[in-house]
Structure 1
Amino acid sequence: MSAAADNTAIWGRAEQQDFRSRVRGCLLGGAIGDALGAGIEFDSLAVIRQAHGQEGVTDYVPAYGRRGAVTDDTQMTLFTVDGLIRAQVRRDTGAWHPPTDVHRAYLRWAATQRDWGPDERKKDDGWLAREEWLYSRRAPGRACLSGLGDDTMGTLDQPKNPGSKGCGAVMRSAPFGLLVGWEPQLVFQLAAECAAQTHGHPTGYLAAGAFAVISHALARGEDLDGAVRKTLTQLAARPGHEETTEALQRALAAVREGAPTAERVESLGEGWTAEEALAMGVYCALVAEDIRHGLLLAVNHGGDSDSTGAICGNLLGTLHGETALPPVWLVELEGRDTILQLADDFAMEMTQGAALHSPAGSAPGWLARYPRA
């Protein structure tokens, strides 16, 4: 990553408020979509309709012992944000390698999947790793667990799980798109590098890069259709792009094929692989009449409902901001306070980071939350 990719330029008050709303929308929207799909993730469309009616689920259904529970998709997305904040803070030391900081954050997530709780977390792990509710296994993907099973960081040259193109990297990659001060090609590159830490197949990491760049355009105020078409241009220059490109092209084509239905969503795949999850989430966001309609469309199918719901929610939340999210779903969302706190910290770091830390001096409270070590 180039040190020229600075994201702490001077922002006006209105710009800061708009950006914070989009960051909150991205993280909360993704978590809502994740939670809507969590209780039906492994059910066929026929089973979903038999249990919940012809429209499928229209609200949260219990998962992991409660309504509004999130899965590993939201857990890992939050640790992506944590890693990006830590990367910015560490720049003051002269250390500037965001993939390393994101990898360390993912290792902290992996610890939540094997430890009983946060009691033995080190001070340098920061505040997110001490959130007790995150210490719960929510069907994490095998590639994520094995890719983070030791301290060795996968890279694009030497990726972890080189045959894996599951959706476990794409579903956590929306936060890279919130680096609005970066150029799109750097956003793509960083997301792809961090995806290769667990998913080494070109489709696995290119779909993550594509998702990040689409999200990046939305965070900058662009429309979704244009964002997807710009991303296709970027993808075309990447070796091994064909599966991801074809999946996004199918999503765009499906928009013109008639009214959105669960069957049309299923024509794009099941969502277990990266390119299918991306295409399904993008399609549902493209045809959404509003956030509620888009999210319910994204989860009511016989596939990886939580991941496609999360991707769609990330996109629609970034596009419309937090105030467009249905309040009835926010009320019961697991971890809402943590998500809001992290979103606001990210927005503050990106817009006012220079006031929080510098080589000359830093706010002790901020470094306690996001240690440089």
Structure 2
Amino acid sequence: MSSQARPTEELYRAAMLLSGAGDALGYRNQRWEYCESGPQIHQELEELGGLGAIVARLPGWRVSDDTVLHLATAEALISGKEHDDLLHDLAARYVEAMKDMDNRKPGPTSILGTSQLKPGQTGGYRIPFNPRALGCGAAMRSMCIGLRFPRTSQLPDLVRLSVESGRMTHNHPTGYLGSLAAALFTAYAVQRKPLVEWGVGLLDTLSLALEYVKTTGIDVKENIAAWEFFPEKWKWYLRERNLESGKGPPRFPAAYGPQERDEVYKTFSLESWAGRSGHDAPMIAYDALLSAGESWTQLCSHGMFHGGDSDSTGVIAGCCWGALHGLSSVPPGNYEHLEYKERLLAAARGLYTAAWGAEIE
């Protein structure tokens, strides 16, 4: 048994609820996900009365494909299935989840990938290698893997599940390593690992992921050829933030308001679409966590209200922040009336029990 401190179930509830809140707030029924201007989003937020005035409920604040697919991952993880049975169940749930995408804007790679899955058939949870599968669709649905496998001793399970679930739609390292990053950062939040160490921890874990990919013998040549972009971009980011040693303190630009963040986030990203890809959705979420401290308002300002794919960065940042800080300082309207709130809570309970056993009163 690990000596790792046991978290409370409340932190698991906060992680799942605030993942949904981060998604709904960053999405705003497509209006903010597809807005390229952080200053415009902040202006519209002010006109709404600020973050505390937002009641995230239907019809104005539905969750996007991110939460639907995150729930699919979580509900598979608490099904009791293991090994190949679990992977087939994950694939089946991803296929089923794609029927719930009206007004949720799933990405084209997720649509293509799920159309290629054949759960129940031999090898049916695998799809062909895709040199264009660079997007964040695997990262945005994988935080719960870190809630299910939060112990340092469970790192091999976390690596295996995040890689396998990620490449069910995004069979390219830039895509599925985003899944690993989102899961690992959530596990780090549960572990109370200092934030300044997370990026170096991710880089150290990539060698395990590469070894796992080689061991499976699937698309090894293609994966090795495409591997280096993800670690090299993360090394660059950690140098930018004075975190390459894992000690910090993090270094941010002197001016880092909404306009400046839009410009900086573009330098993280592919084709200047911040948060759209597997490497930079968790990167922007991490950047927001580093700058926000214990402030939910600051986290949302940096992680949900920026130009680019703001629901995908928001769903990751919200989950990690919830696992760290809970709900007590979050405006209740941001999460109390969320679409799929009860499913999120049920998933949190199931993940907590699976990871830690029933909570001792």
Q: For the superposition of Structure 1 and Structure 2, which TM-score range results when normalised by the shorter chain?
A: 0.7 to 0.9
Report how far residue 202 of structure 1 moved. Answer: 1.2
Note if contact 1:57-1:300 (Cα within 8 Å) is conserved in structure 2: no
Partner of 2:90: 102
Query: Matched residue pairs, number?
Result: 315
The aligned runs of 1:127-206 (5 Å cut-off) are: 136-152=102-118, 158-159=127-128, 161-178=130-147, 179-181=149-151, 183-206=154-177
Note if contact 1:268-1:280 (Cα within 8 Å) is conserved in structure 2: yes
Partner of 2:67: 74
TM-score, length-scaled by structure 1: 0.74
The aligned runs of 1:1-373 (5 Å cut-off) are: 15=6, 18-39=7-28, 40-45=32-37, 46-49=39-42, 51-52=44-45, 58=51, 66-86=59-79, 89-91=80-82, 97-113=85-101, 136-152=102-118, 158-159=127-128, 161-178=130-147, 179-181=149-151, 183-236=154-207, 238=210, 239=224, 240-252=226-238, 253-254=240-241, 255-258=250-253, 260-262=256-258, 263-264=260-261, 266-269=263-266, 270-289=274-293, 290-352=295-357
Distance, in Å, in 1 between the alignment partners of 2:10 and 2:78 is: 18
Distance, in Å, in 1 between the alignment partners of 2:335 and 2:71 is: 17
SS in 1 for 2:357: helix
Residues 222-255 of structure 1 show CA distances to partners (whole Å, capped at 9, x for unaligned) of 2222222111112256344433224434444344
Q: Percent identity?
A: 28
Cα separation, partners in 2 of 1:55 and 1:192, compared to 1, 3 Å: farther
SS in 2 for 1:183: helix
Note if contact 1:35-1:69 (Cα within 8 Å) is conserved in structure 2: yes
Distance, in Å, in 1 between the alignment partners of 2:228 and 2:53 is: 36
Aligned amino acid, residue 200 of structure 1: N
Cα separation, partners in 2 of 1:82 and 1:301, compared to 1, 3 Å: same
Cα separation, partners in 2 of 1:324 and 1:184, compared to 1, 3 Å: farther
Runs of 5+ consecutive residues of structure 1 not aligned to the other structure: 1-8, 114-135, 354-373
Runs of 5+ consecutive residues of structure 2 not aligned to the other structure: 211-223, 242-249, 267-273
Residues 249-284 of structure 1 show CA distances to partners (whole Å, capped at 9, x for unaligned) of 444434403354332354133111111211111100
Aligned amino acid, residue 107 of structure 1: V
Residues 140-189 of structure 1 show CA distances to partners (whole Å, capped at 9, x for unaligned) of 11111221124426889854644211111101010111112452233122
SS in 2 for 1:267: helix
Higher mean displacement: 34-43 or 22-31: 22-31
Partner of 2:245: none
C-alpha RMSD of matched pairs (Å) = 3.2
Distance, in Å, in 2 between the alignment partners of 1:146 and 1:61 is: 34
Distance, in Å, in 1 between the alignment partners of 2:57 and 2:131 is: 31
Cα separation, partners in 2 of 1:347 and 1:65, compared to 1, 3 Å: closer
SS in 2 for 1:279: helix
